[in-house]
């Protein structure tokens, strides 16, 4: 009888724990969507972001840099990376999730120069000993990022990667978000904060055929030849639609056109600012060679050179590739 009582109590505690975890995850998703769809976003410079945000990006995604950032007062930050990923942070700088791969993100935590374990700051070594007593350090890389330099440490279980700043202070576990770490979004249900268009495409995916007639009529009249490829409905009742040319439009609940979305509040700079449009012939030879070797038969449908000199191109198979100014590949969404 006593064992039965203990079993019932244990099951009750587990159910309560799972319920609390789900509630926390739902609250995080709601906060991300609130930031993504906010009409009160304020553009901020990278230097204005909390140190925790800058450290997290520098250590998790190097060599991909921050392209643009926004702040929603009393809610948090939206940060867009050069490769189109959107990250969402609380006011205190804690990362809540990312929009890529259903929230998983394309992390590059072990990108850096391999160094000897003895070069790891003592504070980092002490942290590992205290928190992972059964594991040992397998690999250490040093990430040279100016005042955001730091270390990534892979432990002996092969899957745990810890990130530390240059002084050895723990920053985060690579790819781990609160509440289970997968963030919101995904395709087919909650569309989540979607790529370059940020808040305009945060919502639940719906069948294009269910859109108000006013929306389809507007697209036909103003975007002849283009079709609606994806549609979402937002918590506010507004609709976001993506066209076959990648244009994203925002409509009111009654189907009235509001604006063409570029991913930022009205009046701000373009979310994906392209300093100079380029063709494949404008790319450095190393970039052209990379495309030819890895994507023979595919063509560059859109390309631009960013303000920092890097190039980003979209291929006919929807793969996006980021190159540095010399044509070295930094990010390839197809790999």
202 against 280, higher pLDDT: 280
* Range ranked top by mean pLDDT from 41-55, 102-116, 244-258: 41-55
Per-residue pLDDT tens over the stretch 178-189: 544 333 333 333
Q: Are residues 210 and 165 in the same domain?
A: no
Model's pTM, two decimal places? 0.54
Per-residue pLDDT tens over the stretch 12-46: 544 444 444 445 567 888 888 888 878 788 888 88
What is the model's pLDDT at position 263?
A: 42
Q: How far apart are CA 138 and CA 41, in angstroms?
A: 42
Alpha helix segments (H runs only) across the chain: 2-36, 51-61, 122-131, 213-222, 285-294
292 found inside a domain: yes
Cα 50 to chain centroid, rounded: 17
**pLDDT average, residue stretch 89-97:** 89
Per-residue pLDDT tens over the stretch 119-140: 999 999 999 999 999 999 999 9
What is the pLDDT of the chain when averaged over all its residues? 77
Number of domains in the chain: 3
241 found inside a domain: yes
320: domain CATH number is 3.40.1420.30
CB 98 within 8 A of CB 85: yes
Is 50 exceeded by the pLDDT of residue 172? yes
Cα 211 to chain centroid, rounded: 28
157 found inside a domain: yes
The lowest-confidence range among 5-14, 19-28, 95-104, 230-239 is 5-14
Domain enclosing residue 161, as ranges: 113-174
Is 60 exceeded by the pLDDT of residue 234? yes
Hey, is 236 helix, strand or coil? coil
Q: Which residue shows structure tokens 């904060």?
A: 193
77 found inside a domain: no
Q: How far apart are CA 244 and CA 228, in angstroms?
A: 6
Radius of gyration of the chain (CA): 22
With pLDDT > 90 as the criterion, what percentage of the chain qualifies? 25
312 against 277, higher pLDDT: 312
7 found inside a domain: no
What is the model's pLDDT at position 68?
A: 81
What is the model's pLDDT at position 246?
A: 73
Which residue in 109, 171, 170 sits closest to 140, CA to CA?
A: 109
């Amino acid at each position: 009888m006593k064992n039965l009582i203990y079993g019932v109590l244990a099951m009750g505690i587990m159910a309560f724990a799972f319920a609390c975890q789900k509630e926390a995850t739902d609250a995080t998703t709601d906060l991300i969507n609130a930031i993504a769809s906010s009409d009160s976003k304020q553009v901020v410079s990278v230097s204005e972001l909390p140190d925790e945000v800058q450290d997290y990006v520098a250590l998790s995604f190097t060599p991909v840099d921050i392209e643009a950032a926004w702040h929603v007062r009393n809610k948090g930050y939206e940060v867009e990376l050069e490769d189109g990923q959107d990250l969402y942070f609380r006011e205190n700088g804690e990362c809540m999730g990312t929009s890529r791969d259903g929230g998983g993100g394309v992390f590059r935590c072990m990108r850096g120069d391999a160094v000897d374990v003895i070069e790891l700051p003592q504070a980092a070594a002490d942290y590992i000993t205290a928190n992972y007593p059964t594991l040992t350090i397998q690999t250490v890389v040093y990430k040279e990022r100016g005042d955001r330099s730091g270390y990534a440490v892979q432990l002996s279980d092969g899957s745990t990667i810890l990130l530390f700043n240059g002084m050895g202070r723990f920053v985060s576990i690579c790819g781990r978000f609160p509440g289970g770490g997968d963030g919101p979004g995904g395709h087919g249900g909650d569309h989540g904060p979607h790529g370059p268009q940020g808040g305009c495409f945060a919502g639940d995916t719906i069948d294009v055929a269910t859109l108000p007639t006013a929306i389809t009529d507007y697209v036909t009249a103003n975007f002849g030849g283009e079709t609606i490829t994806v549609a979402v409905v937002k918590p506010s009742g507004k609709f976001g639609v993506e066209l076959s040319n990648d244009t994203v439009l925002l409509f009111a609940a009654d189907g009235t056109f509001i604006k063409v979305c570029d991913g930022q509040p009205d009046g701000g700079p373009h979310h994906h600012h392209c300093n100079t449009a380029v063709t494949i012939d404008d790319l450095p030879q190393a970039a052209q060679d990379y495309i030819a070797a890895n994507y023979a038969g595919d063509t560059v449908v859109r390309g631009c050179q960013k303000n920092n000199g890097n190039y980003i191109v979209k291929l006919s198979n929807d793969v996006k590739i980021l190159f540095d100014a010399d044509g070295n590949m930094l990010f390839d969404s197809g790999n």
